[in-house]
Chain A
Amino acid sequence: MHDDDVTNVERRLRAVLQPDDERVRRVIVGALSPDRRIHPLRPLGLLVACVVALLVIAQFWRASAPLPPALHISGTGSVLVVTSDDGKRWVVNVQRESTARGEYVIAFPR
């Protein structure tokens, strides 16, 4: 069989894929049209799709981000014990040099 010959398989493929005349006519007219330009709604649609995609990604990212472990503060007097959910523990000895009220300790995991 010569390679430039058209086989039955190709004939069948060609017959199946053959477009109708009206569609071909539309393609020709569209291609030869002198005022052919990008559809005005196309960039807008792309922009909307991008924004939606970004929102979805942000939502997934927020949902999958690990939460910081909760801290429990206990203790009496000037000694504070900060216990984390993952078992870590910090003991804070607050030296009261003044008698002013309203002093506090902020503990946060690194």
Chain B
Amino acid sequence: MSGPSNTDLPLLPQVLTGYIPSVDLDATVAALAPRLVAYATGRTGCLSTGQDIAQEALAALVLRWRRFGPPESPEAFVFAIARRRAGRAMKRRALLKPLDFILAARASDTGVESYEQRAELQLVIRTMNRLRRADREVLLLRAAGELSLDQIAIVTGSSAAAVKMRLHRARARLMELLEEAPHAR
């Protein structure tokens, strides 16, 4: 008589995985944080907004991880959230644009640093805004988010082939535009 083989029994019942804290959570958050901040800053053009978006996306990951275990792809999970929130932040900003003079006064009162004050960033973001929206998105996810093509495809909900084509086009166009720019380096 032979007992059950190792392959018959799961090493850990699926239901328990959510209750066992993973030692990798802190490391994952630490690895994703700078990439998320960079991506969200590139999307919104503002460091403080980028920081808020990154923190909210990571907090959602932490909550998900602690309750149900790690998602299949933590990168895709947080970047999808950050992408949606950045989109909402941009819409909110467009709506509040007429009140810019008040918000600007508030920002200067609280000493909030804006990335836009930095000439280099200003130049790059202005140039990036001349790219097609979908191309810009893919380029930011690749350059700032450091995601692979497959991960970008998951985050944007498009095919890997489309991502590849957009990335190629965005790179070429951005290089061309930066060379045209007056203070391009």
Contact = CB atoms under 8 A, between A and B. Distances in A.
Nearest to A21: B34
B39 to A, nearest CB: 8
Most chain-B CB neighbours within 10 Å: which of A6, A23, A31, A32?
A31
Contacts of A30: 55, 58-59
Nearest to A33: B59
Nearest to A36: B59
Contact of B168 (A3, A4, A23, A26): A3
Contact of A19 (B29, B30, B41): B41
Interface stretch (B3-11, B67-75, B142-150): B142-150
Interface of B: 25-26, 29-30, 33-34, 36-39, 41-42, 47, 50-51, 54-55, 58-59, 61-62, 118, 120-121, 124, 128, 139-140, 142-144, 146, 148-149, 164, 167-168, 171, 174-175, 178, 185
A3 B149 contact: yes
Contacts of B124: 12-13, 16
A7 interface: yes
A19 B38 contact: yes
Nearest to B148: A4
A17 interface: yes
B41 A27 contact: no
Given A6-B143, A31-B33, A31-B62, 8 more contacts: A3-B164, A9-B143, A11-B143, A13-B124, A13-B174, A17-B144, A19-B50, A31-B59
Measured as residues with beta carbon below 8 angstroms from the partner, the interface class of chain A is 20 to 34
B34 A18 contact: yes
Interface centre among B36, B54, B118 (most CB of A within 10 A): B54
A13 B143 contact: yes
A19 B59 contact: no
Contacts of A8: 175
B38 A27 contact: no
Contacts of B142: 10
A106 interface: no
A27 B144 contact: no
Contacts of B36: 27
User: 6 closest A-B pairs (Cβ-Cβ)?
Assistant: A31-B58, A10-B143, A17-B38, A13-B143, A19-B37, A30-B55
